[in-house]
Amino acid sequence: MGISEKMSRLGTETAFDVLARANALAADGMDIINLGIGQPDFPTPDNIVEAGIKALKDGHHGYTAANGIPELREAVATDIEKYRGVTIDPNNIIVVPGGKVTMAFAIEMFGEDGAEIMYPNPGFPIYESMIRYSGATPVPIRLLEENGFSFDAEQVLSQITDRTRLIILNTPANPTGGVVAAAELSKLAEGLERFPDVYILSDEIYSRMTYDGEGHVSMLEFDALRERLIILDGWSKTYAMTGWRMGWGLWPNALIPHAQRLCVNYHSCVNAAAQYAGIEALQGDQNSVDKMMSAFDARRLLIHDRLNALPGVSCVLPKGAFYAFPNITGVGLTSRELQNGLLQSEGVATIAGTSFGAEGEGYIRFSYANSTENIERAMDRFEQYLATNGVSA
């Protein structure tokens, strides 16, 4: 007897493998610049850390309600009102250990043999991994560079079949930094009214990370979808809290009991002290978020300029998140070869576009959540790598 067949269908997130290899090379004495892993390089703001410490000292050491402490769910509802302009019931919020968990629960709820789930490709690798694991067929929504890595609403609607159970959307997006325009989202929302049995998971984990004054447009703004819409967001990116494992999902009424039962089966509840820190994050001073975003903005412009100056490389200007996703087809290497070459020869960690799905071939992801100095050094090394490998303008 061996492990179940479905385990062989579970994928992974290459970012963690690259991180392990980069750490191993660093342990051997190599000077590594990590533009691979997708997490802010800033520490969690002090006021949030202090709130977590206080919660521990105040004795918040036990289990909490499976869906999260009420004060936290109320704080999330207020935050949704503030940033998305929509009033929701805090009882529809389920706090989970990281954004990934809302994703896993939604896919688990709708995925089974014979079902189809649509997902962005290139996109966050766990979508495809979990869809396959669930037994459903993954149906890629192709995100093309010429559309600024947005999707075409008509194209998405034309891919819906009578087996489609769930459509996953992600804007601002990982790995492309693309943002889907409000008009396209609106067109999609309107079209989805023709398919009342199809649920939507909108991954809005980068909702606060947009640039050039372009605000985030949430799928929550489309009233007609409300009863079949799941919103995924959390603290990881906005508040530099990736290691705290704090995320939230907004679930429609019909799915709440199922999501709660999954919580009880999988993790009981989220770390109590982290939940108190989460309240402070949402209600406290937002200045640190603004500061982090202006730093990301400067780095975004820098990496975009530097990448476009390299032979064989071209990069659209990212509009959200903290990733640049240049086209590297002119370099003459596959995405994976370039990822490995940059790490082995130059000590620059990046992620091959194919780690985000087959549509990512010809691209490579740089996380610009690193200092301008390191971005400059990494770009110098990339330039040197191209020169050594005979790539010229």
Q: Residue numbers of the site for ligand PLP (CB under 6 A)?
A: 38, 98-100, 124, 170, 174, 203, 205, 234, 236, 242, 247
Phi-psi region of 280 (alpha: psi -120 to 50; beta: other; left: phi over 0): alpha
The tally of CA atoms less than 13 A away on the side-chain side of residue 372 is 11
Distances (CA, A) of 188 to 10, 102, 172, 192, 200: 30, 22, 16, 6, 11
Specify whether the CB–CB gap between 343 and 25 falls below 8 A. yes
Nearer to ligand PLP, 36 or 111 (CB): 36
Nearer to ligand PLP, 128 or 203 (CB): 203
Cβ 176 to ligand PLP shortest distance, Å: 10
Nearer to ligand PLP, 97 or 284 (CB): 97
> CB nearest ligand PLP: which residue?
98
- The alpha carbon of residue 238 and the mean position of all alpha carbons in its chain are separated, in whole angstroms, by 11
Residue with tokens 């492309």: 176
Nearer to ligand PLP, 99 or 178 (CB): 99
SS3 86: coil
Cβ 206 to ligand PLP shortest distance, Å: 7
Nearer to ligand PLP, 149 or 385 (CB): 149
Cβ 300 to ligand PLP shortest distance, Å: 16
Nearer to ligand PLP, 98 or 357 (CB): 98
DSSP output for 104-146: HHHHHHH--TT-EEEEEES--HHHHHHHHHHTPEEEEEE-BGG
Cβ 109 to ligand PLP shortest distance, Å: 17
Closest CA to 366 of 325, 313, 338, 306: 325
DSSP output for 255-313: GHHHHHHHHHHHTSS--HHHHHHHHHHHHS--HHHHHHHHHHHHHHHHHHHHHHTSTT-
Cβ 309 to ligand PLP shortest distance, Å: 27
Collect all residues with Cβ–Cβ distance below 8 Å to 89 and sequence separation of at least 6.
77
How do 348-349 and 229-234 pair as beta strands? unpaired
SS3 207: coil
Closest CA to 162 of 210, 120, 196: 196
Nearer to ligand PLP, 203 or 346 (CB): 203
Nearer to ligand PLP, 160 or 205 (CB): 205
Cβ 100 to ligand PLP shortest distance, Å: 4
Cβ 325 to ligand PLP shortest distance, Å: 13
Cβ 130 to ligand PLP shortest distance, Å: 11
